[in-house]
Structure 1
């Protein structure tokens, strides 16, 4: 039997004629959008996902970018899930925190400014790298939320791939510097607007490293405390990069030396009878707030390059310790202490204009500030209590993490959009192995956790930092560096591992200093992260070494 030739008319008909699911002899039937609560057993596909083990290959392969693939993941018990340090406490109101689904299909937690934190013991890691949050049975009576729109009408849906399937390895673009002999690195900082000069700081040393592209790195030792009791307590570049202020502590007295970019001492400030725990330059670089503190008394002193030392204004004396300070504009600063945040006005001197007192006398270890819609916002965090407090707007949140908070940072705002269009975004890292990214709604007084990024089992997040443009978020554990897209979260874009790490050798000499003060908390190793001004280089301090990671090779 002869067959007619296949013409273009036949081809067009086959391509453009309407198809129905019955025309296919392979693949599953049409997927119907399901409500958020699964209507069947654990083997059925739905937008609720049973907690899965972070190390389970089946679980990782079956959930991509927050959406289910063709083969559902079987529920598994997490063998190494940490017990919540607050799990033995009853919830304050007995209610669970409602969850929302973001654009990536990742569950978000929304918390009132005064709500108690839900236990993280029920959490697991989804295939996108975020920590998913299991919904307890007593909260299942909430209104069901529609599932995210599937990207395919037939077959299985894997979602829009906006995050890499595998993190890039930064090892080929990384150079290692041996910066210390006996001590370990506690802080790193780049010279402003110069990606060839970086400073490495330890408890007994401070070195300036010059790294021209056409030559080997050159070290200039500024402080080297071998065989004596000199301690480097604080370091800060002025915003122009012309002066590096280095504070040292010796014989119960603190002093500050100014260095130029060549490593020459150009100025020496008067000594103070206590340790200098903070050096904070104003954005213009004309003024420097010096924080000198001990367990009983603290001083806030204002240094001005144009004023003679014998004409310096009297310092602002405060009872108790000052743990952190943050500028806000040219004439305002906020300082945090025990149960207190101080609003300070700065002109020819510095003085307290307002005092905020928290409900508990906990130490507010960190403080960061921002202007939001012409409103001053100060965000404080208590490390040991894992709590946030915004005294300027009467907001607080307990149980933000299940471990100590190790760092907080407000996301920088880009210049391509007006300030009013930017939400207040906060990143917090913790010893509970996670970094969280929060949206803070000042009008409704709510903290919304939009991403919970998991570093791995027994991998506390010891440091974190936004890139200057806010695009990337870097975090460091004992043995690894992670870089995420700060808006998408999910899978890390890139990682770097400490070479030959055994988890013990590089921790020798670790201290118990907490934000410049002696503490009784469990000793953890120091890790430091610093982006250069352009966000093209990242300095990662660990042990006695400094890794210089080139983001653009």
Structure 2
């Protein structure tokens, strides 16, 4: 006896799948949305769902969950190629396995998001504490100034000298080094104020300017901002000032022009050695390569989190990037493929720096520093010793010494010849945000000058260190708020510093004294010198970039 096959409508099959998912534990509202979408899309009764549609339906429901997870996370953009489950998972794994995979991956995502949220909260608390401290210091300074005005100039100078001695720390000098001294915030007897008429102010960015860098060739200045753009400015050779003609500018857009696109802050940038290409790193996890004329050449999209650091090697055949996704990537600049991805850190990578053309160092919020080599599967060296997040690392000009600075308030100098640090520099009282080596000593254009390390801290001071013995040369105390950036002049004789107190200071390295200062309209995030050493750029939180002529 023959039986007639029973027919089932598409709606009925969708309902059966929906009930199956519910009874199997998939109770998320996303699957109800997926079910309703299935009803609306296949609403003609009597038409069976074609082969493969069942998988598509289930996957659509899962994608709602993924989309929700992405929207909850502030780390990834909606355009990112980010997925909890792959189609093969849906076909080969049962429901319990799919649930486990989704749960684990979502937990990892939430954990990374919490880590970043804690970091932002920590930075906010730091700034609030620093502002409170600065206000107290300002009150004390104003009171002292009123008292000083009632005294003779001679007595006033003697009192300042005694204050310097009281404030300064007792420090042993290295042999032959200059005597340590402190520079007090007020009064500055010899520092000259740079008038705004002597400064070229570059306007156009729509948000804070986080990074700036001069091209190693030509008069090009690059800037990166929270407005999702970088800009390449052509700076004339003429003296700076309000009379200067507006510079030419190329706007490098990091978005596709959609009005609902999330912000893609430009977090870091770096020129190649020839000055022909500019690399920018963005909060969307992508690195972009631009010509000096502003043409987008390549987009490098392998990181799964914001890029915080980008560096070309000297030869120019590799580009190194470090990301919140805990990894560093070496890109082959001939093909723009990922040459190697290094996954050694257990937390976001904050900074990277090349030692030579094939080896480099990375640092992270996991307190660790790793020295790696292209082609090697494991770190060449691991440096452990910091008790807080390592904010920055820098190799000295010879590539033999590595300096690091941390939230633990210390800077350290390391050598590949030993595991423990050579020098543990502990004179700062708060977190150290950045460090820089002087372009001096053997292997530089200034071989007869001693090598010096500068460290800048949230305690508002800059320290200059003699490297051979790890002793303090000078403590530069002219700023009133956290110092975010320092940079040595190409000849190594001067230091520029920028602070949240809105001041750009210029110091004599040899004498440890403040010689020039400029007050801008916002906090300063980065300062840099051009290759000739006669112009300094600074980027500000008031959306501007300033260029200052340097003449002693």
Q: TM-score range by the shorter chain?
A: 0.5 to 0.7
Q: Is the Cα contact below 8 Å between 1:301 and 1:350 reproduced in 2?
A: no
* Corresponding residue for residue 175 of structure 1: 200
1:128-139 to 2 correspondences below 5 Å? none
Query: Is 1:551 the counterpart of 2:539 in the alignment?
Result: no
Change (3 A) 1:326 1:342: same
Q: CA deviation at 1:339?
A: 2.8
Unaligned runs of 5+ in 2: 1-142, 239-244
Q: Is the Cα contact below 8 Å between 1:193 and 1:534 reproduced in 2?
A: no
* Corresponding residue for residue 14 of structure 1: none
3-state SS in 1 of match to 2:319: strand
Query: Is 1:246 the counterpart of 2:269 in the alignment?
Result: no
Change (3 A) 1:349 1:210: farther
* Corresponding residue for residue 539 of structure 1: 537
Q: CA deviation at 1:369?
A: 0.9
Give 1 or 2: higher helix fraction: 2
* Corresponding residue for residue 426 of structure 1: 453
* Corresponding residue for residue 248 of structure 2: 218
3-state SS in 2 of match to 1:352: coil
Change (3 A) 1:209 1:227: farther
* Corresponding residue for residue 324 of structure 1: 351
Change (3 A) 1:101 1:377: closer
Does 1 or 2 have the higher relative contact order (CA < 8 Å, sep 6+)? 1
Q: CA deviation at 1:128?
A: 9.7
- The TM-score, its normalising length taken from structure 1, stands at 0.62
Q: CA deviation at 1:292?
A: 2.6
- The TM-score, its normalising length taken from structure 2, stands at 0.62
* Corresponding residue for residue 73 of structure 1: 158
Query: Is 1:345 the counterpart of 2:373 in the alignment?
Result: yes
Give 1 or 2: higher strand fraction: 1
Q: Is the Cα contact below 8 Å between 2:534 and 2:549 reproduced in 1?
A: yes
Query: Is 1:409 the counterpart of 2:409 in the alignment?
Result: no
Q: Is the Cα contact below 8 Å between 1:315 and 1:350 reproduced in 2?
A: no
Q: Is the Cα contact below 8 Å between 1:53 and 1:125 reproduced in 2?
A: no
* Corresponding residue for residue 465 of structure 1: 487
3-state SS in 2 of match to 1:330: coil
Q: CA deviation at 1:270?
A: 3.7
Q: CA deviation at 1:126?
A: 9.7
Change (3 A) 1:169 1:247: closer
3-state SS in 1 of match to 2:302: strand
Query: Is 1:439 the counterpart of 2:487 in the alignment?
Result: no
* Corresponding residue for residue 330 of structure 2: 302
Q: CA deviation at 1:291?
A: 1.7
* Residue-by-residue CA offset, 1:261-302 (whole Å, 9 max, x unaligned): 1111122224332222221100121211122333xxx22221
Q: CA deviation at 1:391?
A: 3.2
Change (3 A) 1:228 1:349: farther
* Corresponding residue for residue 87 of structure 1: none
Distance of 1:102 and 1:355 partners within structure 2? 32
Change (3 A) 1:245 1:61: same
Q: CA deviation at 1:381?
A: 0.8
Change (3 A) 1:224 1:420: closer
Q: CA deviation at 1:54?
A: 8.0
Q: Is the Cα contact below 8 Å between 1:339 and 1:357 reproduced in 2?
A: yes
* Corresponding residue for residue 190 of structure 1: 214
* Residue-by-residue CA offset, 1:374-424 (whole Å, 9 max, x unaligned): x72111111x22102223252343632123223210111167989886543
Q: Is the Cα contact below 8 Å between 2:442 and 2:448 reproduced in 1?
A: no
Query: Is 1:228 the counterpart of 2:261 in the alignment?
Result: yes
Q: CA deviation at 1:324?
A: 1.3
Structure of greater Rg: 2
Q: CA deviation at 1:486?
A: 1.1
Q: CA deviation at 1:433?
A: 2.6
* Corresponding residue for residue 261 of structure 1: 292
* Residue-by-residue CA offset, 1:326-359 (whole Å, 9 max, x unaligned): 111223211122232111123x57752121222x
3-state SS in 2 of match to 1:73: helix
Q: Is the Cα contact below 8 Å between 2:190 and 2:515 reproduced in 1?
A: no
Distance of 2:158 and 2:232 partners within structure 1? 52
Aligned-CA RMSD value: 3.8
Q: Is the Cα contact below 8 Å between 1:170 and 1:549 reproduced in 2?
A: no
Q: Is the Cα contact below 8 Å between 2:526 and 2:539 reproduced in 1?
A: yes
Q: Is the Cα contact below 8 Å between 2:440 and 2:447 reproduced in 1?
A: no
Distance of 1:177 and 1:333 partners within structure 2? 34
Q: CA deviation at 1:450?
A: 1.1
Distance of 1:217 and 1:449 partners within structure 2? 42
User: 1:125 aligned to 184, 190, 198, which one?
Assistant: 184
3-state SS in 2 of match to 1:241: coil
Distance of 2:287 and 2:430 partners within structure 1? 35
Distance of 1:404 and 1:540 partners within structure 2? 22
Change (3 A) 1:207 1:227: farther
Change (3 A) 1:124 1:427: closer
User: 2:339 aligned to 301, 313, 317, which one?
Assistant: 313
Change (3 A) 1:125 1:269: closer
Change (3 A) 1:419 1:103: closer
Greater Cα shift, 361-370 or 212-221: 212-221
Unaligned runs of 5+ in 1: 1-51, 64-70, 85-95, 109-122, 130-163, 507-524
Aligned length: 389
1:85-124 to 2 correspondences below 5 Å? 97-99=170-172, 107=180
Distance of 1:58 and 1:416 partners within structure 2? 53
3-state SS in 2 of match to 1:278: strand
